[in-house]
A and B are shown apart, each in its own frame.
Chain A
Amino acid sequence: MKRADPGGAAPRLGVGIMANLAIAPFVSIAGAVDYLAVTPDMFWIDHGSGVDNRDYRFTDIPSWVNMLYASGLPMVSHHIGLSITSAIPTDRSYVAQMARWAGRWRAHWLSEHLAFVSIAEGHGASAAGLALTAPFDNDVLSLAVERARYVIEQTRAPFLLENSPYFVNFDDSEMTEAEFLNRFCADSGGGLLLDLHNLYCNAVNYNFSGHRFLDQLDLATVVEVHIANGSELGGMYADSHSGTPPEPVWDLLDDLVGRAPNLRGITFEFHDSYLPVIGFSGVADVITRARGAWHKRA
């Protein structure tokens, strides 16, 4: 039986870029990119769950929001604050803000990372200080599925889970990462944001083939792809968004596009501090090459 397309009615957008202030002059050029991927958490100030009036928990940062008004590009939301595998109650106020933001900017889909960034502390929660990947166990999967279903219900938009890089490997996990991602999609109705550079990081750090990993995934669940570059960190290869993607990531992209029938977009991620290294011409080169891959899709 053919499974449902997790992208729903979302259009095929093409090649986009992760929004940051440094890139504003580039994306303002007509046709430079096809869409913006936006991390909404960087566009607002979160005054904390203790704020009584939910309308004032989240307030805009004008300099960032103005960039969105100016761009006029289609948008997708890429969140960092849902903490989808945290063993804490779902932050419903945060999910409500996800829905408000998606409605305001007509986000074609929303996504979040497979990680926890909040931990239980007394009767509340506190920040872990970094994103950590939990073991690929059934109870973690249940948490992620339940939270994803709630987000889909509240936002009425497609929801994607992004595979994360991890620096600690729990090799007695109850399933493999690929099995976890496949089951997440099957059980939640969500899809995958497949970050090919995160996959490459894990393949380098744990010595496996990224292409074999693709073979194990249900590629019909892939709605968006991320490409990026990285660097060495404490003896590991890390996803630092440091410029033009390395050749193995392009190879993974070429391998994927023909096998991912529901792919809607390819997003280039780079950190604004690396703009002096790559330059706008370097960014344009990445977008051009990614468009070449996009046109090879099934």
Chain B
Amino acid sequence: MAAFQRAYAALAASPRLCLAVRADPVAGLASYDLDAREHRRLAGAVWQRGMDANCTLYRATRITALNTVAPLTLGLVRPVLRTMLDAYWEQHPVHDVSFVRETARFVAWLEMRPCALPEPADHVIALARRELATEEARLAGTEAWFKSG
């Protein structure tokens, strides 16, 4: 069951994997230790129209984290946002439920790719760092409030 859930979540996260499984279910699901029924279920699931909705929901969840912490940065990179997020999610397929950790990872990823950013790229990176630092400071204030009782 664990492998089935991992594979199902991976499909919901990746339209590309869904297309690969449509084209060749055996190869597309080869990296998951599925029994015959599980394999049959997922090979059929990728043809259901609801899988598109799952993929959309997954993306909405992940972009919500980044947009909550770094909305101005996302606005600045809007012309390349879709391509950039596809590449980021491809490289980091596992979602971090902490908005700050997810955004910190994204900012670090941006820092390694200044050529992919709209000009001036150094301004984009500086803004991203500042938005992240602001959220970290806000949460640090939250911690201080909590510990002071």
Residues of A within 8 A of B (CB): 45-48, 59-62, 86-88, 116, 119-121, 126-130, 132, 134-135, 139-140, 143, 166-170, 172, 205, 233-236, 238
Contact = CB atoms under 8 A, between A and B. Distances in A.
A129 B9 contact: yes
Nearest to B51: A168
Given A60-B146, A134-B5, A236 B50 contact: yes
A127 B12 CA distance: 12
Interface in B125-140: 139
A116 B5 contact: yes
Nearest to B13: A129
Contact of B2 (A120, A130, A168, A236): A120
Contacts of B13: 128-129
A128 B1 contact: no
B96 interface: yes
B61 interface: yes
Contact of B56 (A121, A143, A233): A233
Contacts of B142: 45, 59-62
B121 interface: no
- Chain B residues touching A, majority SS: helix
A121 B37 CA distance: 22
A8 to B, nearest CB: 31
A119 B97 CA distance: 13
A129 B62 contact: yes
Contact of B50 (A48, A127, A168, A172): A168
B45 interface: yes
21 contacts: A45-B139, A46-B98, A48-B98, A120-B2, A121-B94, A127-B96, A127-B97, A128-B9, A130-B9, A134-B1, A143-B1, A166-B50, A167-B50, A167-B53, A167-B57, A168-B48, A169-B48, A172-B37, A234-B50, A234-B55, A235-B52
Given A134-B1, A234-B56, 19 more contacts: A45-B98, A46-B97, A59-B143, A87-B1, A87-B4, A120-B6, A129-B12, A130-B58, A130-B61, A134-B5, A135-B41, A140-B1, A167-B48, A167-B51, A167-B53, A167-B54, A168-B8, A235-B52, A236-B53
A170 B47 CA distance: 12
Contacts of B58: 129-130
A241 to B, nearest CB: 13
